[in-house]
Amino acid sequence: MPNRVSASTLLGSAVVLLAFSSPASSQAASERATLTQIISGTEIEVRWSRPSLRGREEIFGRQIPWGEVWTPGANLATTIRFSDDVVLSGEAVAAGRYSVWLRVMESEPWRLALHPDTTLFHSAHPPLDEAAVQFVVERQRADEVQESLAWDLDRIRLDGAELIMAWGRDRVVVPLEVDPGITLATPAANAEPLVGEWVYDDTPSLPSPEQMERFAGQPANPTARYLEVLVAEARPRPVRIERDPESGLVHFVDPVVEAAEAAFYSGDGEQPVVVYGQALLPRSPGFFTVAGTFGGEVSAVNPRFSPIIEFEYGDDGRAVSFTIRGPDDSVQGTGVRPGR
């Protein structure tokens, strides 16, 4: 008797075949990836397909010829989106989504371009003169190999970060600036009356004897190490105010607090490393927000809850005293010029 296959059996087989070949269950040679980061309220999003080396030692100059305008990814063009206006490598970029293109050169600087058309395929290389913005980027060579093409945001700070593309031994690092929502730099003319040596008394903000007792005899406790260094120095004590001409930041240099922070971040027997500092961010004439810094950069600040420092000026326009107040208007410390 001949074999007969019913229509229902054929239909069922077709459904099974469709299920195994559906896009949802397939794998691409270059899988999609998304990077999302928020910096001071600005959202940055990069979408790209991740090609891999797969045994190839060099990509540029071979699979990607020198002079090629190439999307740093695969398949559909890599895109980047900014929720607010930003600055990339010194160039203003309006909020929006762009496709990303890179002209790779053997001995000349590479160029990165953002194009308004985000629907392009990776082989649809647009002319760079049609880009919304383009600029020179530095090609760096790394010791370690990046197998799959990666985008990242590194050295994130209050006012920006570094946007990085890495594949193989090649890296492109693009400085990114965002609006931090608060002014960080102080003009030199406004900072000069503050700069110099001061005598500072922070007695009102020191921990109580009861608080100190809670941490007594705990050298392994970072807070105990911090407090031990903080209260050891006599009050009042010398501090100084400096301005960094490159960043425009005004630094409140307190050796005691820096030493206490170094003790906090150093384990038992380790050499203390100073990573913490304080900066004064301008609010209005004579008023500054006290913010924390790491590595000389402002790390975080909330203007609603950070202490405020108010300066008083002499007849010659030079600051002669200051008062630091907490969010509840309580006095946390006072300072005067030496000899006053």
pLDDT digits (tens, 9 = 90+) for 54-108: 988 888 999 899 999 999 999 999 999 999 999 999 999 999 999 999 999 999 9
Question: How many helices (H) and strands (E) would you count in the chain?
Answer: 5, 19
Per the structure block, which two tokens stand in for 199? 């005598």
Show which of 124, 151, 177 is a domain's final residue. Answer: 177
| b (16+ CB within 10 A) / e for 135-150 | bebebeeeeeebeebb
User: Cα(247)–Cα(180) distance, rounded to whole angstroms?
Assistant: 14
21 domain residue, yes or no: no
124 domain residue, yes or no: yes
- Same domain assignment for residues 140 and 241: no
- The per-residue pLDDT for 270 is 64
- Same domain assignment for residues 294 and 323: yes
What would the mean pLDDT of 178-203 be, rounded to a whole number? Answer: 96
**Percentage of the chain exceeding pLDDT 90:** 69
Per the structure block, which two tokens stand in for 254? 């307190």
Element (H, E) at 228: helix 222-232
121 domain residue, yes or no: yes
Strands (E), the chain: 31-39, 42-50, 69-70, 79-82, 86-88, 91-93, 96-103, 110-115, 133-157, 160-177, 196-201, 237-243, 250-253, 276-284, 287-294, 297-300, 308-313, 319-325, 331-336
7 domain residue, yes or no: no
- Three-class SS state of 271: coil
- The per-residue pLDDT for 230 is 93
- Same domain assignment for residues 155 and 265: no
- The per-residue pLDDT for 20 is 37
- Same domain assignment for residues 39 and 173: yes
268 pLDDT band, cuts 50/70/90, is low
- Same domain assignment for residues 327 and 217: yes
- The per-residue pLDDT for 28 is 62
- Same domain assignment for residues 167 and 201: no
Q: For residues 145 and 168, is the Cβ–Cβ distance under 8 A?
A: yes
Strands (E), 220-275: 237-243, 250-253
- Same domain assignment for residues 35 and 91: yes
- Same domain assignment for residues 205 and 165: no
Q: What is the mean pLDDT of the chain?
A: 88
In angstroms, the Cα distances linking 127 to 68, 77, 130, 138, 337 are: 11, 14, 6, 20, 61
What would the mean pLDDT of 110-115 be, rounded to a whole number? Answer: 96
**Percentage of the chain exceeding pLDDT 70:** 89
Any long-range contacts for 62-67 (C-beta under 8 Å, 24+ apart)?
A: 64/104, 66/104, 66/105, 66/106, 67/103, 67/104, 67/105
Show which of 177, 206, 226 is a domain's final residue. Answer: 177
18 domain residue, yes or no: no
C-alpha dihedral, 9 to 14 to 19 to 20, nearest 10°: 100
78 domain residue, yes or no: yes
Q: pTM above 0.95? A: no
- Same domain assignment for residues 134 and 245: no
208 domain residue, yes or no: yes
- Same domain assignment for residues 134 and 238: no
* 97: containing domain: 28-177
Indicate the pairing of strand 196-201 with strand 331-336. Answer: antiparallel
C-alpha dihedral, 248 to 249 to 252 to 258, nearest 10°: -130
- Same domain assignment for residues 169 and 253: no
- The per-residue pLDDT for 216 is 85
User: Cα(226)–Cα(231) distance, rounded to whole angstroms?
Assistant: 9
Q: How many structural domains comprise the chain? A: 2
Show which of 137, 153, 177 is a domain's final residue. Answer: 177
- Same domain assignment for residues 135 and 226: no
13 domain residue, yes or no: no
